């Protein structure tokens, strides 16, 4: 039986640049750096964001941008703080997708390796309740 998410790994062209993003935007704490003697496939670093283990590994950037993404939960009142952190690193902030009221707000941004990140203020329970309410109203 699946217990939880173990970790998320991002392949990045520049470990230091991604370290700065993780630390500045997400408040990540570095807990391991392989240096030039990796035990895995390539040099890597491990971080914690809350209880989540995030790994970054040296490699080739994604060739294109897609909507595949990882979304992190933030408080609605903190959205401007995170937007400022992202902009301070000159990251590519995307326009938000159209949303229905009650779905939460999001910030979408790409790193230099074409990974898409989302910072989202909503919850699954809130989204399901909103969709249910809208479906009932439409019937």
DSSP labels, the chain? ---S--EEEEEES-HHHHHHHHHHHH--EEEEE-TTS-SSSS-EEEEEETTEEEEEEE-PPPSS--S-EEEEE--GGGHHHHHHHHHHTT-EEEPPPP--TTS--EEEEE-TT--EEEEE---HHHHHHHHHHHHHHH-
Q: What is the pLDDT of residue 97?
A: 80
Do 100 and 54 fall within a single domain? no
Entry field: residues in the chain = 139
pLDDT score at 127 = 86
Residue 44 annotated to the active site: yes
Among the listed residues 35, 3, 12, the one whose alpha carbon sits nearest the alpha carbon of residue 114 = 12
Q: Are residues 15 and 82 in the same domain?
A: no
Residues 55 and 69 in one domain: no
Tens-place pLDDT, residues 98-131: 777 778 899 999 999 999 999 999 888 888 888 8
Do 79 and 56 fall into the same domain? no
Instruction: List, for residues 69-86, the tens digit of each pLDDT value.
Output: 999 999 999 999 999 999
CB atoms within 10 A of CB 12: 24
Residues 114, 55 share a domain? no
Count of domains forming the chain: 2
**Whether residues 110 and 86 fall in one domain:** yes
Catalytic pick among 44, 64, 118, 139: 44
Q: Kindly report the number of other CB atoms within 10 A of residue 38's CB atom.
A: 13
Print the domain residue range for 13: 1-60
pLDDT of the residue at 81: 96
CATH number at residue 5: 3.10.180.10
Reported as a single tens digit per residue, the pLDDT across 5-62 is 999 999 999 999 999 999 999 999 999 999 878 788 899 999 999 999 999 999 999 9
Q: Using the 3D structure, point to which of 60, 79, 94 is the last residue of a domain.
A: 60
> Quick check: 109 and 88 in contact, CB under 8 A?
no
Residues 65 and 48 in one domain: no
């Amino acid at each position: 039986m699946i217990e939880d998410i173990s970790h998320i790994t991002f392949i990045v062209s520049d470990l230091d640049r991604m370290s700065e993003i993780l630390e500045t935007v997400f408040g990540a704490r570095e807990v391991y750096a392989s240096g030039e003697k990796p035990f895995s496939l390539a040099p890597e670093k491990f971080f914690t964001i809350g209880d989540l283990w995030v790994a970054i590994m040296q490699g080739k950037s994604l060739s294109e941008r897609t909507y595949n993404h990882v979304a992190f939960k933030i408080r609605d009142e903190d959205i401007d703080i995170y937007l400022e952190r992202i902009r301070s690193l000159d990251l590519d902030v995307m326009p938000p997708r159209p949303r229905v009221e009650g779905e939460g707000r999001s910030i979408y941004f790409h790193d230099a390796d074409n990974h898409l990140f989302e910072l989202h203020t909503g919850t699954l329970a809130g989204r399901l309740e909103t969709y249910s309410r809208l479906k009932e109203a439409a019937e």
